Amino acid sequence: MAEFVTLEVSDGIGTIRLDRPPMNALSRQLQEEIREAAREATVRDDVKSVIVYGGEKVFAAGADIKELAELDFVRMSRIVGDLQSALGSIADIPKPTVAAITGYALGGGLELALGADRRIVGDNVKLGTPEILLGVIPGGGGTQRLARLVGPAKAKDIVFTGRFVGADEALAIGLVDEVVAPDDVYEAARRWAAQFTGAASRALAAAKAAIDQGLDTDLDTGLAIEQHVFASLFATKDRTIGMESFRANGPGKAEFVGE
- What is each CA distance from 166 to 24, 169, 247, in whole angstroms? 20, 6, 48
User: Quick one: CA dihedral 143, 147, 150, 155, positive or negative?
Assistant: positive
DSSP code at position 132: G
In DSSP terms, 63 is beta-bridged to: 26
Contact partners, residue 90, CB within 8 Å, separation at least 6: 16, 34, 38, 50, 52, 97, 99, 112, 115, 116
Pairing of strands 13-18, 49-53: parallel
Per the annotation, the verdict on 36 as an active-site residue is no
Which H or E run includes 97?
Answer: strand 97-101
Q: Which of 3, 70, 111, 187 is catalytic?
A: 111
Residues 6 or more apart whose CB falls under 8 angstroms from that of 66 comprise: none
Instruction: Verify whether residue 56 is a known catalytic residue.
Output: no
Q: Of 8, 33, 131, 255, which residue is the catalytic one?
A: 131
Running DSSP on this structure, what letter comes out for residue 57?
S
Using alpha carbons only, give the angle 129, 74, 88 rounded to the nearest 5 degrees: 40
The secondary structure of 146-201 as a DSSP string is HHHHH-HHHHHHHHHH---B-HHHHHHHTS-SEEE-GGGHHHHHHHHHHTTTTS-H
Could you list the active site residues?
A: 111, 131
